[in-house]
Amino acid sequence: MATMVPSALPPGASWISLISLLLFSCLLPPDAQGQAFQMRVELQPPAVLSGESILVNCSTDCPWAELVSLETSLLKELVGSGLGWAAFQLKNVTGDTLLFCYGFCNDSQIAAFSNITVYRFPERVELAPLPPWQPVGKRLLLSCLVSGGAPRDHLTVALFKGDEELGRQPAAKGEPTEVTVTVLASRDDHGANFSCRTELDLRSQGLGLFQNSSAPRKLQTFAMPMTPPRLVVSRFSEVETSLPVECTLDGLFPASEAQVQLVLGDQSLNPTVVSHGDTLTATATAKAAQEGVHKIVCKVTLGGKSLETRENVTVYSRNPLAVTITLAVLAILGLVIVAAALMYVFGVKKSRLPLRPRQPEEAAAAVILSLGLSGYCKAEAAGGWRYPRIPHQ
């Protein structure tokens, strides 16, 4: 990445004044550079924060020095002078500026140049927004945006995970300038704070190292399995009867932050969700109010990704009248079976034994068979049925 070199001519500087200074220096006598006494330029401080003041001292060791002065495009104020020196205050310095101290020594002109270095702290140091959720194992681009800051050749930008430096680059031209670092997201990055920091190193100018950090941003990473949840539920259920439902998903990270939806038809259930390691289990109890085939759905959502499983549940109802009719039919069938058995038994005995008087029990069975079950019931309802009197033979 290219390094930005501060401009020697700040906005608003007077080109005419600077050109005249250069022309003036070209008119110096040929022996001026080699003379025994030289002009010196001293700055206090050596670099100035934009908008502040600086003290410039023009001096020489020449014992015959005269007319020591300062030429600059900035407004100047003489704050002191003496034999061979003069001091000037420059206020509201906002850009790098060329200075020209000059004077006369033994009728020869002596001069010296210097430059004011103006530094500015960045106005903006911001880490670009992170994705709401970052998949584990995918590359993440971290980007730091920096506006302002000078001189650029002394400004660097570093990106951090917590206190761990991930990389640094010199600030380039452009407003804002952008510095990027690519990292591979992992489970350890979940919940970690990322930030960026600028460092303006002016130690070579007799000043210090100035740092400015962005607000941290927290990263959330996640991992989803390839397989859908396991849904455990009975395929049949009675109307208004509790139906236990269980939904489980393995290989989920972080399982504790996943969202679970359990729905039976158009009814949303209120599941109890428990996570253990990378396994999430949701349980609930459902009740269907209507018969029919209803769809039950388990949906697990994490990091904007979802997995779901669907099953059908057949809901039926028990009709009391139908139960009564069924029991009555079974009772009648039972009586018919008994009667048929008796007929078979007595038929076999009759074929094997000589004719003899019927006993009351046999007569009762014969009447039941002749009258039928309905006739027997009517006889009972009319006052009871009695065994018929059969004379002995």
CATH number at residue 180: 2.60.40.10
Q: Which of 296, 316, 336 is the last residue of a domain?
A: 316
Q: Quick check: is 148 in a domain? A: yes
Q: Is residue 75 part of a domain?
A: yes
Model confidence at 319: pLDDT above 80: no
In this prediction, residue 129 carries a pLDDT of 96
In a domain, 9, yes or no: no
Considering the domain architecture, whether residues 217 and 270 belong to the same structural domain is answered as no
Confidence of residue 377 (pLDDT cuts 50, 70, 90): very low
Name the phi and psi angles at 274, rounded to 5.
-130, 135
Residues 28, 45 share a domain: yes
Confidence of residue 13 (pLDDT cuts 50, 70, 90): very low
1 lies in a domain?
no
Question: Has residue 361 been placed in a domain?
Answer: yes
Q: Is residue 269 domain-resident?
A: yes
What's the average model confidence in pLDDT over 179-203? Answer: 95
Domain boundary among 282, 316, 350: 316
Q: To 10 degrees, the CA torsion angle through 190, 192, 196, 199? A: -150
On whether residue 393 sits in a domain, the answer given is no
Q: Report pLDDT for 362.
A: 55
* Cβ atoms 217, 195 nearer than 8 A: yes
pLDDT score for 356: 54
End position of a domain, from candidates 300, 316, 332:
316
Q: Mean pLDDT, to the nearest integer, of 235-263? A: 93
Number of domains within the chain = 4
Which residue range(s) make up the domain with 185?
120-222
More confident residue, 148 or 9: 148
Mark whether 65 and 91 lie in a shared domain.
yes
For the segment 98-110, the average pLDDT, to the nearest whole number, is: 91
> Does the pLDDT of residue 318 top 80, yes or no?
no
Are residues 45 and 80 located together in one domain of the fold?
Answer: yes
Look at residues 318, 336, 157 and name the one whose alpha carbon lies nearest to residue 239. 318
Does position 370 have pLDDT exceeding 70, yes or no? no
125 & 206 share domain: yes
**DSSP 8-state class, residue 153:** G
Burial class (CB within 10 angstroms; exposed 0-12, middle 13-18, buried 19+) of 138: exposed
